[in-house]
Amino acid sequence: MSAPERIPPRSVTTADLLAHGELTVRGRIREASNAALFCTVAYEGQEASCVYKPVAGERPLWDFPDGTLAGREVAAYEVSEATGWQLVPPTVLRDGPYGEGMCQLWIDVVPDAGLLALVDDEEPGPGWKAIGLAEVGEGRTALLVHADDERLRRLAVLDAVINNADRKGGHLLPAGGGRLYGIDHGVTFNVDDKLRTLLWGWAGEPLTDEAVRVLGTLKETLADGGALAGRLAGLITPAEIDATRARVDALLASGRHPEPGGEWPAIPWPPV
């Protein structure tokens, strides 16, 4: 009689770990405006650090009355994955010690990445894009600039698609291997234009060929019956999905990065 076939152990993906692992709260992230807990998650011998934001700890927002911050965080991850750029850390919606919430992989940041700077010149130097003037104390102002970096440019396109109302410098996480992630996407997907970002350096400039291809893919997968539309259902409202489709269509029609609209503050406060 032959020995039974050995079935190799199933590899644990990051999504498995975040969605099914045991969450252990290690502390609170005090800088966050809503409840954000630093945790470890363990599953089938694998362990990682993560951020858990329970819906129960969210403060109501008058201009985002529908859905939850957690749902929009996961929706932003799903759109990021559909672009193929992987600009948002792996993020799931799951139950936890304080009820349903968002669980996101913790990213160790590489210091001194050189993404933002203040300069005394009136124009940005080579390799930099102007954001605007900033007060630096004692009646002085300086020019706030961001790097002319393809990773930031991709993130600017993603923010335009998801209508990010809060892209601050502290939400940019440079990681090992040259990776760059964006976090804190709770105020996104509004049906009204609320784009507020530090990444205005390409405003009005033509989109890259890569961005146009990615937007074309998003248009297809956001259509009724498309894979991304299905994943977004239940995370954001049907009206917000329609508004996302409209933003993708508008970007493709213009072929350019959006410019500040003037009806909403263009730069979040504080900017960093």
Of the pLDDT bands very low, low, confident and very high (cuts 50, 70, 90), residue 72 is very high
Q: What is the tens place of the pLDDT at every residue in 149-177?
A: 999 999 999 999 999 999 999 899 999 99
Count of other CB atoms within 10 angstroms of residue 1: 3
> What is the band of 3 on the pLDDT scale with cuts at 50, 70, 90?
very low
Average pLDDT value over all residues in the chain: 90
User: Rounded to whole angstroms, how far apart are CA atoms 94 and 77?
Assistant: 14
Contact of 233 with 241, CB cutoff 8 Å = yes
Lowest mean per-residue pLDDT among 4-13, 41-50, 231-240: 4-13
Highest mean pLDDT among 52-66, 122-136, 157-171: 157-171
Residue 10: predicted pLDDT: 52
Average confidence (pLDDT) over 24-48: 91
pLDDT the model gives residue 271: 66
> What pLDDT band is residue 22 in, cutting at 50, 70 and 90?
very high
Stretch 52-81: mean pLDDT, rounded? Answer: 94
Binned at pLDDT 50, 70 and 90, residue 2 comes out as: very low
Q: Is the pLDDT of residue 98 over 70?
A: yes
Which pLDDT belongs to residue 197?
94
What does pTM read for this prediction?
0.92
pLDDT per position as a tens digit, 39-53: 999 999 999 999 999
pLDDT (tens digit per residue) in 237-269: 999 999 999 999 999 999 999 999 777 778 887
